Amino acid sequence: MEKRDIVVLGSGLSGLSAGHFIGEKCPGRDVLLIEKEGRPGGAIQSFSQDGYHAEWGPHGFLNNTPESLKILADTGLDQEMMTAPLGDFRRFICFKGGLEPLPQSPKMLLTTPLLSAAGKLRLLADLWKKPKDAPQTISDWARYRFGSGVLPMVDVAVTGTFAGDPDRLSIDAVMPGVRQLEKENGSVLRGLKNKKKMGGDVRKLPAMINFPQGMERLIEVLAERQEIRRNTCITKIKKNDFWELKFEGGALQCRTLVVALPVNSSLQLLSHLSPPPVSSIPGARIVNVVLGFSDMGQIPRGFGYLAPEKEKRFAMGAMFTSHMFPGRCPEGIVMIEALVGGRRHPERLDLSDDELVNKVCEDLGALMNITGKPVFSRVLRPASEIPQLEMDHPALLTWRRDMEESFEGLHICGFGWDGIGMNDMIKSSARAASDIAAGKAGEAGQAPVKPVYF
């Protein structure tokens, strides 16, 4: 039987990042990545047609995570990347049939029309509201701490990241750092103030990163530096003195196993070793409606807009892609990517491409007075789902920790475990590599306080 030292299951961003950091932290050790598909990258894939460039998956990541910045520096991609600073571009929220800028600072919260005078005063109740220990959804937590007036803004924060439902997502799973800040200081606002006093910069806005060729460029560069065995689907995992991985037509053994797969794929392979609290977690699927217009309408300068459920819009939101990253479409054209579906409206994915384009155009016409027909349209339908970190997720994280402590040489990271952002996956993979280098089981460490950037 073939024997390897370290095997990483999956060559999406998590697997590639794990392989990269293991190579750096464990020089001289043999590392093999195993990928069931014919291409690496998982959900990260770029689209190009007739001078238009879009994304099947994530549209970028923020430059505020050391592990991600290190990968860029290690690969030389810091010399290729394009940046769109959040401080230079605004995001908007659908509000009473129009678009309003989303507040990016406490001062803006005090002047925004999104909150009534009573709603602004209610924010201050956070200072004396005692933290609740009981599990809460994001909606319940936000309503308790800040009042119902903030719920539309909370809604779009969740829509813009998870395509999810704040009435179902767990605050402890999605924002563990904020919960920790709340519990340690008795108040989120007080915690942010104390963090600032201790030298933490809670106001500086980061930038969104992409590449001229699209996000797939990151995958190409990471993949070309690593050994990847493609078109190999692992069907069973056994643990004796070594890890034994079975696949069609063969098997191999390894001393250290990194399962860098989406949560549900990980559960399918590992649940027979120790039953998890749930057999799977929900997912949200979306479609990306890519449109090019010669009619500029009244598109504001910014990243795009998000639509809370109460506004009854068809699209969850739209990105003004050509504003963010020049060169994404032909000269004289504005390019917009609208996202449809999500956890609350999976039925919309059943519509035809023409129906999707027409309904999105109705939204754009009503919100930004774009009346002309698009000169380009393409509907991208990713097969992958966005993991939803709902109320069972904290128990699943406890199970993962127990698995890593119980089975020597096992490390679990991947899409949906510690979040769904690219930075989340890179950071989790770096943690796994550090644990391997130190010869210890996985440790969650202190949850970072992730600011909410609309």
pLDDT at 194: 86
Contact 231, 37 (CB under 8 A): yes
So what's the pLDDT on residue 329?
95
For the beta carbon of residue 295, count every other beta carbon within 10 angstroms: 17
- pLDDT of 150 reads 95
- Number of domains within the chain: 3
The pTM for the full model equals 0.93
- Examine residue 210 and state whether it is found in any structural domain, yes or no: no
Q: What's the CA gap between 257 and 98, in Å, rounded?
A: 51
Return the HEC string of 71-114. HHHHHCHHHCCEEEECCCCEEEEEECCEEEECCCCHHHHHHCCC
Q: Name 98's Cβ contacts closer than 8 Å, sequence gap at least 6.
A: 367
Rounded distance between C-alpha atoms, residue 203 and residue 200, angstroms: 9
Range of the domain at 223: 2-44+215-281+388-438
What CATH number did the domain enclosing 317 receive?
Answer: 3.90.660.20
**For residue 450, is it within any domain?**
no
Three-state DSSP class for residue 53: strand
Cα angle 54, 265, 60; round to 5: 25
Q: Which of 197, 230, 262 is the last residue of a domain?
A: 197
Within a domain: residue 313? yes
Residue 452 within a domain: no
- From residue 379, alpha-carbon distances to 154, 159, 165, 296 in Å are 28, 19, 23, 21
Distances (CA, A) of 324 to 50, 91, 291, 369: 19, 11, 15, 20
Q: Are residues 312 and 177 in the same domain?
A: no
- The answer to whether residue 68 is domain-embedded is no
Residue 325 lies in a domain: yes
What is the C-alpha separation between 454 and 448, in angstroms, rounded?
Answer: 18
Q: Is 361:373 a contact under the CB 8 Å cutoff? A: yes
Within a domain: residue 205?
A: no
From first to last of its 454 residues, what are the pLDDT tens digits of the chain?
899 999 999 999 999 999 999 999 999 999 999 999 999 999 999 999 999 999 999 999 999 999 999 999 999 999 999 999 887 788 999 999 999 999 887 778 889 999 999 999 999 999 999 999 999 999 999 999 999 999 999 999 999 999 999 999 999 999 999 999 999 999 999 988 887 766 555 456 789 999 999 999 999 999 999 999 999 999 999 999 999 999 998 999 999 999 999 999 999 999 999 999 999 999 999 999 999 999 878 899 899 999 999 999 999 999 999 999 989 999 999 999 999 999 999 999 999 999 999 999 999 999 999 989 999 999 999 999 999 999 999 999 999 999 999 999 999 999 999 999 999 999 999 999 999 999 876 555 555 555 554 3
Backbone phi, psi, residue 369, to 5°: 60, 35
Residues 277 and 419 grouped into a single domain: yes
Cβ atoms of 173 and 393 within 8 Å: the answer is yes
Domain boundary among 381, 397, 413: 381
Does 268 share its domain with 313? Answer: no
Residues 16 and 142 reside in one and the same domain: no
Residue 405's domain is classified under what CATH number? 3.50.50.60
